[in-house]
A and B are shown apart, each in its own frame.
With several copies, the nearest count.
Chain A
Amino acid sequence: MPEKTDEKYRNVSLRIPSNARYLKIVRSVLEAVGRMFDFQEHTIQAVLLATNEACANIINHAYKDEPNHFIYLDIYPSSERIQIELRDNGIKVAPEKIKPRELGDVRPGGLGIHLMRSLMDEVIFDQNYKPGNKLILIKKRSEKNDKHS
């Protein structure tokens, strides 16, 4: 994901412990960045929820609920889109395991990947990243109402 030079210095980075209580902080930061760069409220909510789900998966699966690890987030807002990169040092996900459940199969859980894909324009698991995992979420600015920054 190459960044334009002038966009490099818009990047906000956050590191939180792999503990669900910190999800609220991730949401606060994304909300502040989204408002700052004039994204639509609806776009901000989508980014908040998708990133929340991505962090939850890192906590539950990559770090197996162990709280003594860290999640790394890089937030890149721009005039066209907002991009969030999430990195962890946990167990590497096998690409074939990352699949949402069939929606007809009603059971608790198995919704995170589906929500991320429904909410974002792009959801990319970077298979070359090591150690651990790197996930890239991209949401375009909706043309109708979002003002440019």
Chain B
Amino acid sequence: MTSTLEIEINRNQNYVVISLCGEVDLYSSPKFRKQLIPLTQAKLPTIVIDLSKVSYMDSSGVATLVEGLQLIEKYKGNFYITGLTPMVREVFELSRLDSVFSIHESVEQLQRNQLIP
């Protein structure tokens, strides 16, 4: 069964970047959740979710991000979201979650702003 979602994980000493590529929906978001939860259990200090290659996201994808945020806040880690495509930006805005998350232009932007090394 071909998945509509590919997930790439780049882990460094101090932070991890999870790059999603494709469509995040009720079928594919559990695959994302399965990658995200263990990283919060390991209390990674900084987790970056790059959405720049996400063409579609439904409320189950948003729910996974909210869950990740809440788990990370518990141990006072950083949770950054980068690369919102117009479709994803609209879902965030409609969900009134654009102010809840720390949203940035790109991973490079995070580096320039020294939020990640």
Any A–B CB pair closer than 8 Å? yes
Q: In the complex, are the beta carbons of A45 and B87 less than 8 A apart?
A: yes
Interface secondary structure of A, over-half rule? helix
Beta-carbon contacts under 8 Å, A48-68 to B: 48-49, 52-53, 56, 59-60
Q: In the complex, are the beta carbons of B56 and A111 less than 8 A apart?
A: no
Q: In the complex, are the beta carbons of A20 and B25 less than 8 A apart?
A: yes
Q: A37-B1, A103-B96, A149-B1 are in contact. Are A23 and B59 (CB under 8 A)?
A: no
User: A114 CA to B94 CA in the complex, in Å?
Assistant: 8
Q: In the complex, are the beta carbons of B2 and A111 less than 8 A apart?
A: no
Q: In the complex, are the beta carbons of B63 and A20 less than 8 A apart?
A: no
Q: In the complex, are the beta carbons of B1 and A38 less than 8 A apart?
A: yes
Answer whether residue B35 sits at the interface, using C-beta atoms and an 8 A cutoff: no
**Chain A hits for B91, CB < 8 A:** 49, 115
Q: A53-B58, A56-B58 are in contact. Are A23 and B94 (CB under 8 A)?
A: no
Q: Could you jot down 14 A-B contacts, CB within 8 Å?
A: A27-B56, A35-B2, A38-B2, A45-B87, A48-B56, A52-B25, A52-B26, A53-B58, A56-B59, A107-B66, A108-B66, A109-B63, A115-B94, A149-B1
Answer whether residue B106 sits at the interface, using C-beta atoms and an 8 A cutoff: no
User: A27 CA to B26 CA in the complex, in Å?
Assistant: 13
Residues of B in contact (CB 8 Å), total 25
Report which of B4, B62, B64, B94 forms a contact with A118, defined as CB distance below 8 A.
B94
Q: Which residue of B lies closest to A106 (CB)?
A: B100
Answer whether residue B97 sits at the interface, using C-beta atoms and an 8 A cutoff: yes
**Chain A hits for B58, CB < 8 A:** 23, 49, 52-53, 56
Residues of A in contact (CB 8 Å), total 30
Q: Which residue of A lies closest to B95 (CB)?
A: A111
Bitwise, A23-36 to B at CB < 8 A (1) or not (0) is 11001000000011
A18 to nearest B CB, angstroms? Answer: 11
Beta-carbon contacts under 8 Å, B65-112 to A: 66-67, 70, 87, 90-91, 94-97, 100
Beta-carbon contacts under 8 Å, A104-127 to B: 106-109, 111-112, 114-115, 118-119
Report which of B25, B59, B66, B97 forms a contact with A24, defined as CB distance below 8 A.
B25
**Chain B hits for A149, CB < 8 A:** 1
Q: In the complex, are the beta carbons of B59 and A59 less than 8 A apart?
A: no
Answer whether residue B23 sits at the interface, using C-beta atoms and an 8 A cutoff: yes
Q: In the complex, are the beta carbons of B26 and A56 less than 8 A apart?
A: yes
